[in-house]
Amino acid sequence: MTSTLVITTYNWPEALELVLNSLMNLSAFPSEIIIADDGSGDETAEMIRAYENSFPVPLVHLWHEDDGFRRTVILNKAISMAKGDYIIQLDGDCIMHKHFVRDHLKMAEKGIYLYGSRVTIRENYLSDLFKKKTTSFSFLDKGIKKRTRNLHIPFLGRLYKSNNELSGKLRGCNLSYWKSDFMAVNGYNEDMTGWGREDSELVVRMMNNGILGKRLRYLGIIYHIFHIEKSKERLDINDAIQKRAIDNEIRRCENGVDKYLKAS
């Protein structure tokens, strides 16, 4: 099985640097890494270039022009070019536990997508975090909260079962699935712009297409760097799109990834 780690980012090179630093400590690597950049400035590009030869697998920086929050678009572009059979998604403000990739790959099953939780890094710890460039956190670390999510206990994690219910714990910053399942529903719905529901709407269509979800608990740990939430001005619109997918059991969106496949 080949795999692609897709990391989304936008104009926060200080956070992305810590994410890339955490890559260096991984116990297992994906086959390739794609940084899906939603229009960051030159500072981010320069920082990524400094890491291009740091990993044993290719690091690709995919950028498009800044035209507002277009996460669905940059993810579709990234996944359309991904060479891996299996996709692991991460946001550029989420530091990885050393077994993050290994856990996703070990738990991968046909017909299943995986979603994990995130440990929260406290706002009052950010100064120390960036000064010390911290990428590992103990259970009792004062810089984190929701610390029970920082317990890495694989045998407990394997007790969780798959189901066809949309979990409120699902986050696109800790999500993995087979690329073929993503393509079958035409990827992300690009009618959804602005923050909110783009990941869960994708998963709704996957479930409508027979794919089950499984939670990664005590596995697949990430550490989310605190930041002010993005604007939710389009949340009602995106909610309505997701509701239509649920009510009408929609499996495939119209405005999706296929346009990039045709272009290539």
Bridge partners of 33, per DSSP, are 5, 59
Q: Report how far residue 48's alpha carbon sits from residue 244's, in angstroms, rounded to the nearest whole number.
A: 39
- The string of pLDDT tens digits covering residues 158-186 is 999 999 999 988 999 999 999 999 999 99
Domain spans of the chain? 3-263
User: Above 70 in pLDDT, residue 263?
Assistant: no
Confidence tier at 27 by pLDDT (50, 70, 90)? very high
Task: Name the superfamily (CATH) of residues 3-263.
Answer: Spore Coat Polysaccharide Biosynthesis Protein SpsA; Chain A (3.90.550.10)
Confidence tier at 227 by pLDDT (50, 70, 90)? confident
- The string of pLDDT tens digits covering residues 92-122 is 999 999 999 999 999 999 999 999 989 999 9
Strand 32-37 and strand 59-63: the pairing is: parallel
Average pLDDT over every residue of 58-69? 94
